[in-house]
């Protein structure tokens, strides 16, 4: 039986008229050979372009790179060590491709807030975190410091507390809060000698994190004179600083080591952190909590917590436990309630 089809063309219903088979390229198990790739260090990320430093027998080169499609949704962040192919000459106008990311040794993460289930990796492969806070203008926020400390311990980074504007207020009271957590505390003021800080940074990859307006970029410019980081000012009405660093960037220190300057933060979500990851950062406490009852929160409300028993026996200083619990409280307290 003949039927009338589209455009008036007549077909017989027995002709097997239907959609033609889809033509696709045959699948292959062959994968691109990147054995000749070079390894580089990501120092900046800006709108899908990655600045990568490659240093080998061909010399030090700064490459502009894109991310290869086969990496899919895998993110590339400042601090990553990556494999690059393509034009790796570093000449103006050239573009290389990132085809692989070396396994990360550490990742500093945060979430937008404490209810956000999505982690945001900030920096990879750092080994120190410097919490930069002003002693005045704006005033320090111990709750924020404690939360960033939690993030540092969770990432396995050694924390430093760098206090700026010591010419406006004494650092003694704030420093005392962190003495029992074994946090190295350094204080600075405009024109001060930074040799002690340089010694702490030498040979390390240190992330600088801090509230907006605390003088973080000023400090980076003093440590690395040609850094050229923008400097902002504090709003006298709100007491808040203005974001001047808009993206993380890794900068090499003249004496060796790296500083990764990050944008100023006004909150630091910790929904990705667990109690175990915090405890693990304190070997003396980790040895004790094995005697805690199941699901013990290790806070002041915990019944029969082994940490309290250790204090009573004299095996743990009460001031250290109080400092730990203050930091732990900052982790479970909503970010907007902290001061």
Binding site for GTP: what residues are annotated? Answer: 164-167, 210-218
Residue 232: other Cβ atoms inside 10 A: 17
Give the residue numbers of the binding site for Zn(2+): 292, 296, 298, 305
Helices (H), the chain: 142-155, 172-177, 195-201, 216-223, 275-279, 283-288, 306-313, 318-332
Q: Are 104 and 157 in contact (CB under 8 A)?
A: no
Give the Cα separation of 51 and 40 in Å (integer): 9
Residue 168: other Cβ atoms inside 10 A: 13
Query: Cα 79 to the chain's mean position, in Å?
Result: 9
- Calculate ∠ Cα 133-200-268, nearest 5°: 35
User: Quick one: residue 314, left, alpha or beta (phi over 0 = left, psi -120 to 50 = alpha)?
Assistant: left
Tokens of residue 321, six digits? 């436990």
Give the Cα separation of 255 and 320 in Å (integer): 35
Q: Are 80 and 107 in contact (CB under 8 A)?
A: no
Q: Which of 235, 206, 217 is nearest to 125 (CA)?
A: 206
Give the Cα separation of 34 and 46 in Å (integer): 25
Give the residue numbers of the binding site: 164-167, 210-218, 292, 296, 298, 305
Q: For tokens 């410097």, what's the residue?
A: 130
Please give the torsion angle defined by the CA atoms of residues 289, 291, 297 and 299, in that order, rounded to the nearest 10 degrees.
-70
């Amino acid at each position: 039986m003949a039927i009338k089809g589209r455009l008036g063309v007549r077909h017989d219903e027995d002709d097997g008229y239907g959609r033609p088979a889809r033509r696709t390229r045959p699948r292959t198990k062959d994968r691109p050979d990147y054995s000749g790739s070079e390894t580089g260090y990501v120092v900046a990320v800006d709108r899908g372009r990655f600045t990568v430093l490659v240093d080998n027998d061909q010399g030090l080169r700064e490459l502009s790179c894109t991310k290869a499609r086969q990496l899919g949704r895998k993110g590339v962040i400042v601090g990553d060590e990556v494999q690059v192919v393509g034009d790796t000459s570093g000449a103006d106008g050239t573009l290389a491709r990132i085809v692989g990311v070396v396994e990360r040794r550490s990742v500093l993460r945060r979430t937008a807030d404490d209810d956000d289930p999505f982690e945001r990796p900030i920096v990879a492969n750092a080994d120190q975190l410097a919490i930069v806070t002003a002693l005045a203008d704006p005033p320090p926020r111990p709750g924020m410091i404690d939360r960033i400390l939690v993030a540092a311990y969770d990432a396995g980074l050694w924390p430093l507390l760098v206090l700026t504007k010591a010419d406006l207020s004494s650092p003694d009271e704030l420093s005392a809060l962190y003495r029992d957590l074994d946090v190295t505390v350094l204080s600075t003021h405009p024109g001060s000698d930074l040799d002690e800080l340089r010694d702490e940074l030498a040979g390390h990859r240190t992330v600088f994190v801090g509230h907006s307006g605390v003088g973080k970029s000023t400090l980076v410019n003093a440590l690395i004179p040609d850094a050229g980081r923008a400097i902002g000012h504090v709003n006298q009405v709100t007491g808040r600083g203005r974001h001047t660093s808009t993206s993380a960037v890794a900068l090499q220190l003249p004496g060796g080591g790296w500083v990764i300057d990050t944008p100023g933060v006004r909150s630091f979500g910790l929904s990705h952190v667990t109690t175990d990851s915090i405890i693990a950062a304190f070997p003396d406490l980790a040895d004790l909590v094995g005697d805690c009852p199941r699901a013990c929160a290790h806070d002041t409300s915990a019944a029969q917590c082994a940490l309290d028993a250790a204090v009573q026996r004299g095996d743990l200083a009460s001031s250290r436990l109080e400092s730990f619990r203050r930091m732990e409280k900052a982790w479970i307290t909503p970010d907007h309630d902290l001061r």
